[in-house]
Amino acid sequence: MPDTFTEDLVALLPNLRRFALSLCRRHDMADDLVQITAERAFAARDRFDPATRLDAWLFRILRNAWIDQTRRTKTQGTIVDIDDAPDAATVDGTKIAEDALMLGAAGAAMADLPEDQRAVMLLICVEELSYKDAAEALDIPVGTVMSRLARARLAVAEKLGIK
Amino acid sequence: MTITDEKLMAYADGELNAAEAAEVERAMAEDEALALRVTLFAGSRKAVREAAMATPLAVPEALAEKVRALGAAHAAGRAAAEKAPDKIVDLSARRRPAGSWQLPLAASIALAIGAIGGWIVAHSSTTPAGLEIAALGDPAIVEALSTLPSGERQVLDNGNQFAAIASFEDGGGRFCREFEYDQVSGTTLVAVACHDQTHWDVRFAIAAPAATPGLYAPASSLETLDAYLSATGAGAPLSTADEAAALSALQ
């Protein structure tokens, strides 16, 4: 059987990078996250179940790598739940210039979402993961995915004037 | 009966089973507000998806290259592992006594195979002793290699210590021994010698600063050794009985 794991992973780099950008909103950090994700994926590839979606599995690795990074940068050493952590864009008190995750008004509306809502929105509405796959990628219950997603959807709909 | 936003959204996303979907449809038929709410969920998804699709996704070529290189490196490692699946040695089991090498990593390895120039030289089999590497030329080492059971340590006449670590067969079926040679100079040699018909060949040697007198070599040199053992298809350490048989066969 030809080994397509590397090719499959490389093909998903744009999606990984988009997810990374949605989390940290900085290109340099996003690239680092993607590389760490790739390293971890190669090291753990025997644990990947080919019957499942590779992208969902990679998103989970990336999200965990992001949590590791945000924890590491906390100088106090206290672990802050990701839901309580301030957005990376304001983490050091200064507003970091946002890289365009998405163009247009919808992109702006996405950028205004809290990080946890933006993540479910991206995984489900852009990457088209199921609620279940998104829940596994983010390590949260499906019910939490749904409530975050519903809030995000209503907020975006309102900003865009969808009626 | 009320229908939650989550359920309406799940309906819009096609996440409901047939029975749940039918239930939402009945409710929407009775309440136009619910139908509008579903439109709102469907519209937000569509808008976000379209915005994402309209935004080019660039990945820096350097990043893609790094990932391809990582993939190639891992593929090579896997191919090597598949080639000799039963030759993978649990190297942690090789060390004893346990815990003795839980030492701070020595930052540097003085000499590594492939980078030591003339240190490991083409041996000449004309010399009966066979061991020509400078520090390993001592006949007492040859004697110890041929007699000392693994796990034992012997102080040689010159004050240096020889520790037999393990015996195994290499990929070519040769009887090989991993040993350490702790020199009073403070340098420990971690080495592998294989017996080739009449003499011992040093196949691998690495010099590391001794961590603590009387203890085994620092872990960093062992990583290099492990890589060497894997690459040469080294088998699992021989049992005490097998080793004793192999040693007596040398006499």
Whether B230 contacts B89, CB under 8 Å: yes
Cβ neighbors of A76 (< 8 A, separation 6 or more) are: none
Q: In Å, how far are A22, A34, A102, A110, B48 from A89, measured between CA atoms?
A: 11, 18, 16, 14, 21
| Euclidean distance between CA atoms B136 and B121, whole angstroms | 12
Judged by CB atoms closer than 8 Å, whether chains meet at B40 and A104 is answered as no
CB burial string B74-95: b at 16+ within 10 A, e below: beeeeeeeeeeeebebebeebb
Q: Which residues contact B88 (CB under 8 A, 6 or more apart)?
A: B81, B230
Provide the H-helix boundaries in B148-239.
Answer: 219-231
What is the rounded radius of gyration, in angstroms, for the C-alpha atoms of chain B? 32
- Check residue B197 and give left, alpha or beta (phi > 0: left; psi -120 to 50: alpha): left
Residues in chain B, overall count: 251
What's the DSSP call for residue B157? T
**CB pair distance less than 8 Å for A34 and B10:** no
CA distance B231 to B225: 10
Instruction: Name, in order, each residue with C-beta under 8 angstroms of B181's C-beta and a sequence gap of 6 or more.
Output: B135, B136, B141, B160, B161, B162, B163, B188, B189, B191
Residues of chain A with Cβ-Cβ distance to B64 below 8 Å are 10, 13
Q: pLDDT digit of tens for each residue in chain A (163 aa)? A: 457 899 999 999 999 999 998 888 788 889 999 999 999 999 998 899 999 999 999 999 999 999 888 877 654 344 444 444 444 444 433 333 345 667 788 989 998 999 999 999 999 999 999 999 999 999 999 999 999 999 999 999 999 988 7
CA pair distance A55, B38, nearest whole angstrom: 28
- Strand-strand pairing, B153-155 and B175-182: unpaired
**CA-based nearest distance B31→chain A, Å:** 16
> For A14, which of B13, B43, B57 is closest by C-beta distance?
B57
C-alpha B3/C-alpha B124 separation (Å) is 88
Q: What pLDDT shows up at residue B241?
A: 86
3-state SS record for chain A: CCCCHHHHHHHHHHHHHHHHHHHHCCHHHHHHHHHHHHHHHHHCHHHCCCCCCHHHHHHHHHHHHHHHHHHHCCCCCCCCCCCCCCCHHHCCCCCCCCCCCCCHHHHHHHHCCCHHHHHHHHHHHHCCCCHHHHHHHHCCCHHHHHHHHHHHHHHHHHHHCCC
User: What are the two backbone dihedrals, phi and then psi, of residue B153, each rounded to the nearest 5 degrees?
Assistant: -130, 140
Choose among A31, A38, A146: nearest Cβ to B6: A146
Element holding B154 (H helix, E strand): strand B153-155
Task: Please tell me the predicted confidence (pLDDT) of residue A31.
Answer: 92
Range 28-87 of A in CB contact (< 8 A) with B:
31, 34-35, 38-39, 42-43, 45
ipTM value of the model? 0.80
Question: Could you check whether the bond before residue B149 is cis, i.e. omega within 30 degrees of 0?
Answer: no
CB pairs < 8 Å spanning A and B: 123
| Cβ within 8 Å of B, A 119-148 | 121-122, 124-126, 128, 130-131, 143, 146-147
Q: Return the pLDDT at A73.
A: 67
Instruction: Name the H helices within B84-148.
Output: 139-147
Cβ count within 10 A of residue A94: 8
Query: In the structure, what pLDDT confidence band is assigned to residue B138 with cuts at 50, 70 and 90?
Result: confident
| Single pTM value for the model | 0.55
Two structure tokens written together for B112: 């590594």
Average pLDDT over residues B154-178: 86
- Number of neighbours of residue B44 by Cβ within 10 angstroms: 28
Instruction: Calculate the alpha carbon distances from B176 to B95, B185, B189, B193 in Å.
Output: 16, 26, 16, 6
Cβ A106–B70 below 8 Å, yes or no? no
Q: How far apart are CA A157 and CA B39, in angstroms?
A: 10
Mutate to test the interface with A, among B65, B67, B88 (most CBs of A within 10 A): B67
Shortest alpha-carbon distance between residue B72 and chain A (Å):
8
pLDDT at B117 over 50: no
pLDDT of residue A84: 46
Residues 6+ apart with CB under 8 A from A22: A101, A110, A118, A119, A122
A-chain CB neighbours of B41 within 8 Å are 150, 153-154, 157
Beta strands at B175-182 and B187-196: parallel, antiparallel or unpaired? antiparallel
**Residue range B107-134: mean pLDDT, rounded:** 38
CA distance linking residue B232 with residue B234, whole number of Å: 6
Mutate: best of B5, B6, B41, B44, partner A, most A CBs <10 A: B44
The pLDDT score that the predictor gives to residue A144 is: 97
Chain A positions touching B49 (Cβ under 8 A) are 125-126, 128
Q: Which residues of A touch B59 (CB under 8 A)?
A: 13-14, 17, 34
| DSSP state for residue B111 in the 8-state scheme | B
Contact B72 A6 (CB under 8 A): yes
